[in-house]
Amino acid sequence: MSAFLEWLESDARGAGATRVALSFAVFFIAWQLLALLVTNTMIMAPPLAVFKSLWVETQSGAMWKHALATVGVVLLSFPVAVLLGVMIGLALASSKLMTLTASPLLTAMYSVPVVALAPLFISWLGLGLASKFVIVVLVAIFPVIVSTEVALRSTDAHLIEAARSFNARPLQIFTTVTFPFAVPFIVGGVRVAWARALVGVVVAEFFGAFAGFGFAILAAGQTFDTPVLLGYVFVLGILGLIGSVLLHALERHLAPWREELGQ
């Protein structure tokens, strides 16, 4: 048993897939047990009923229509949020004056629940792409800003001094020491931003949309169609998992030294 647990903790081929399979198995077992305790299907639907509803939604074409609307907005707005977040984080980390000046405003904006302002953005920009684009960017950008600034400021001073001892210029120090050191932490912020982007687009679709997962969830909730509601929530969870796995793979590709150091 101990050997199996050690294998699960390793990076051996198949260990990662096995961990995912075990976590899903535990999740579905707990879900099924909860559905047995809560027999009212309007409150809790069992996994089989949810998957049947997903199949019906897929066969009817509704799933593809809503997926195209939601995923399209996220894939369009999320890279913009990441790019702007990294640029703002770089600017803040490069200037103490800019940090002292902008930090209070950024802190206040980060504390404001942007999703609560969704009706206002929709009234300004309408029910189309523009309002959802702005909401997703504003929701997702702040984790990237914070992670970028903190990561760049947390670079090991000994590494910077070592680079300076070899007469490295500031740009060389940034490209060879500071930014590579910060990359894993920036990607961590991007992973958080991905989850927030999915929440942002769903909330935007709650308040005003003609298609999308948020629209479908709201419609299913109003008709007490719990299997359909949970089905779309499950798909959103899968999208979050896929994004997290891909970003983790990107982190391992950009910062292989962390794996070598066992970090």
Which of the pair, 123 or 6, is modelled with greater confidence? 123
- Provide the mean pLDDT of the chain: 82
CATH architecture of 43-261: Orthogonal Bundle (1.10)
What percent of the chain has a predicted confidence (pLDDT) above 70?
90
The DSSP 8-state label assigned to residue 174 in this structure reads I
Q: Buried (b) or exposed (e) across 63-83, using 16+ Cβ within 10 A? A: bebbbebbeebbeebbeebbe
- The pLDDT of 178-200, averaged and rounded, is 88
- Per-residue pLDDT, 256: 65
pLDDT band at 3 (very low <50, low <70, confident <90, very high): low
- Per-residue pLDDT, 213: 92
pLDDT band at 261 (very low <50, low <70, confident <90, very high): very low
pLDDT band at 77 (very low <50, low <70, confident <90, very high): very high
Q: Is the pLDDT of residue 40 over 60?
A: yes
130: tokens are: 């523009």
Question: What Å distances lie between residue 259 and 56, 126, 181, 214, 252, CA to CA?
Answer: 43, 47, 13, 38, 7
Give 137-188 pLDDT, tens digit per residue: 988 998 899 888 888 887 777 777 777 777 777 777 777 778 888 888 888 8
Q: Is the pLDDT of residue 16 over 70?
A: no
Query: Would the CA dihedral through 112, 118, 188, 177 be positive or negative?
Result: negative
- Per-residue pLDDT, 70: 92
Give the domain ranges of the chain. Answer: 1-37, 43-261
- Per-residue pLDDT, 76: 92
Give 235-249 pLDDT, tens digit per residue: 999 999 899 888 888
Report pTM: 0.84
Angle, vertex CA 30, rays to CA 26 and CA 36, nearest 5? 150
- Per-residue pLDDT, 198: 92
CA 224 vs. chain centroid, Å, equals 28
